[in-house]
Amino acid sequence: MSSAKTSRPLTPGEIALARSVFADDIDYRQVRIHARNYVFWQGAGYIITPNGQMYLGRRLRHYTDFSAAGIQIQAFFIHEMTHVWQHQHGVNVLCKGLGEQIRHFLGFNQYRYRLEPGKPLTAYKLEQQGDIMRDLFLAQLGQPTPYDAAAYVAMTGAPARGRSIGITQLDAVDLANNVADHPGTDGESVHKDGSQ
């Protein structure tokens, strides 16, 4: 199979979806989605985004436009676009992510997060950043998340949905009021498939 048949650029809908969270902080022309594994042991339901490109596991290859998928799949796409954003802003996602995944498989959850007053997005682990941006997307659509939309907007410096969101302006803001409003969640993030 030629690479033209196994990879594609982002669709206009996917660009619009990502832009709703990342504004112009990503060069969308550089992103390709590959309908193949990045590594042979990649799980069928996983996307790996180590180098600014997405590699789809076998069960996800039928998605030809993530913006036309259900909201949970769109949120999954936003999580992965966070890794694109990280890569394009100088993070070695492959090396740093590999270390985080090793710790995750050893039982140390790399996805669970707690929004902390004054802690900027970039101070969180890579997978936590992905889940925070995923949850920002979901919260702005009124979906259940560990914190309300205002907490995510304050944390990322993002204005309300429907306006440009510039996450490069990551002001360390006081989230104490937003965090205090959510007793019992302990700020834990659980993947929508039930994993932590």
Rounded Cα gap, residues 62 and 44, in angstroms: 12
CB-based contact 55:49 (threshold 8 Å): yes
Alpha carbon distance 121, 114 (integer Å): 11
What angle do helix axes 126-140 and 93-105 make, rounded to 10 degrees?
90
- Cα–Cα nearest to 58, from 81, 38, 76, 79: 38
Catalytic residue set: 80
